[in-house]
Structure 1
Amino acid sequence: MTRQSYDTDLTPAQCELLAPLLPPAKPGGRPRSVNVFEVVNAIFYLLRAGCAWRLLPHDFPAWQTVYYYFRQWEADGTWEALNHALRQQLRETVGRNPSPSAACLDSQSVKTAGAAQETGFDGGKKVKGRKRTILVDTMGLLLGAKVHSARRSDHDGLTLLGIWFASMWSCLQLIWTDKTFGGKSFVAWVEQAFGWTIEVVQRPAEQKGFQLLPRRWVVERTFAWFGRYRRLSKDYEYLPTTSETMLYAAMVNLMLRRLA
């Protein structure tokens, strides 16, 4: 039975891009009966519409099946691998080196909805919830993300990113940040510990009102892209790791649209 399509559905060209990147069915046992592309369609629908898992339309696979695949791909690193492969393809498409040499870093505090692990209060933003610290390349494509309590400082968020991603992104020669990630001693420690050179983009002293700061707008634009996904308007996830996976899944959807 052919169902009516949704705006979030994969196109044939996007399915062709995604097919070699998705994990194959497990060997042995009963053959896989679910269409994995329909599972991906359901996950992208949930991200854009902002609905709960149990409220997925009935013409998708059962929500339990979709949730199982989402969590399975989270556990085995599939979402991060998809993000990595598609980002390399997209950078090559526009004539850039697949491995970036420069990046931008920032954090965003968001409210949590309901019970959640590791939450806190951000006194600067006056937000009770979690903080998303993300690292993006100069195209705004996601390199790494850590979600943690909003009470943690931006220095803590950068430290978490470095612990998880410094070995993976040793190719980075320069990272632009705002002054909340600054401090001469901390910047020197980051370079010694992770090999990352931090450059703080300062707001001009004479500035009044809004002014577009060089390089800083790149990561802010990425947060704006995430704002199109209603599931990311707040942090609805119980686990911070699931929140991180939602960011990777949203970026995969964005890059698929650009590539096909």
Structure 2
Amino acid sequence: MKRQKYASDISREKFAEIEPELRSVRRTTKPISLDLYDVFCAVFYLLRTGCQWRFLPTDFPKWQSVYAYWSKWSQPDEHGTSVLERALKKSQVGAAREKLGRNACSTFLIVDAQSVKNADTAGFKGYDAGKKVSGIKRHIAVDSLGLPHAVAVTTANVTDRQGALQAFERCKGSLGRVQSVLTDAGYVGKPFADGVKQRLGAHVTVQIAKRDELHSFRVMPKRWVVERSFAWLEKNRRLWKNCERWLNTSLQFVHLAFVVLLLRRS
């Protein structure tokens, strides 16, 4: 039976770009009985609409099967990298940069954090006293195009500096060409600069984009790029609040959101 087409679906041609990565989590001795395209579209439908697993439309595969595949795709390997993260960085971010004649790894990163309120189903939370938010915090480092190169999710009580260093620690294997990191005033201090150098190399410099001293609105140079990346994430209703029991699940939904964004733009 052919299922209904939803607005959240991507084309089969785009899905083929990441299908090899998604198939790699299954044993080759056991044939796959479900259409992985429908499974992937079901997971993104859930992310886009914010519905619960049990409320997936019935023309998708059974929600238990969809969730089982999601669990495999979001499970980190021995290096702490999930299939979704590999698909994002290798198949999408790198390819998007190379199409523009750039190296797959950027030399310039812009860092910021976003505090997100928890729903009652969330398993971990902290309190961000600065923004008065009880929940989690997303830390991302993007290039000048807004494409993510390092992502981490922590409880909201973790400072922006600590979270950024966690993101760099997670992803330092793919950040070998980074030479400069741009941040706002929340990252001021020698300990943060030293932490960046320790993880990315002694040659890396940290630049602080300061607000204009005049009491007038000014767009901070390059800072709007990372704010736009956060806005891209918020187009997905499941990311408006944190509903997840585990921080890794929140992290993998961020990876999924960027994967589909880049698939549609390629």
Q: Quick one: which of 205, 209, 214 aligns to 1:197?
A: 205
Counterpart residue number, 1:81: 86
1:27, 1:165 → 2: CA distance? 29
The change in CA–CA distance for 1:193 and 1:254 in structure 2 (over 3 A counts) is closer
Residue 252, structure 1, aligned to residue 259, structure 2:
yes
The aligned counterpart of 1:224 is 231
Match of 1:13 in 2: 13
The answer to whether 1:103 aligns with 2:104 is no
The answer to whether the Cα contact below 8 Å between 2:12 and 2:37 also exists between their aligned partners in 1 is no
Gaps of 5+ in 2: none
- Cα pair distance change 1:189/1:11, threshold 3 Å: closer
1:34 positional shift: 0.5
- Provide structure 1 residue ranges, at least 5 long, that are not aligned to the other structure: none
% identity of equivalent residues: 38
Over the aligned positions, Cα root-mean-square deviation in angstroms equals: 1.6
Contact 1:23-1:78 within 8 A present in 2 as well: no
Report the AA paired with residue 83 of structure 1: L
What is the correspondence of 1:163-182 to structure 2 with a 5 Å cutoff? 163-182=169-188
CA distance in 2, matches of 1:188, 1:250: 32
Deviations 1:32-91 (A, max 9, x none): 111101011001111111111111100001111111111101114110011012111111
Q: Which deviates more from structure 2 when the two are superposed, residues 180-189 or residues 248-257?
A: 180-189
Give the whole-Å Cα distance in 1 for the aligned partners of 2:123 and 2:192.
28
Return 193-202 or 249-258, whichever deviates more. Answer: 193-202
Q: How many residues align?
A: 257
Provide the residue aligned with 1:22 in structure 2. 22
Aligned-residue offset at 1:248: 0.1
Give, in whole Å, the separation in 2 of the partners of 1:205 and 1:15: 48
Q: TM-score, normalised by structure 1?
A: 0.93
The range that moved more, 160-169 or 141-150, is: 160-169
Check 1:146–1:57 CA distance in 2 against 1; reply closer, same or farther (3 A cut). same
Call closer, same or farther: CA 1:20–1:122 in 2, change over 3 Å.
same
Give 1:207 shift.
4.0
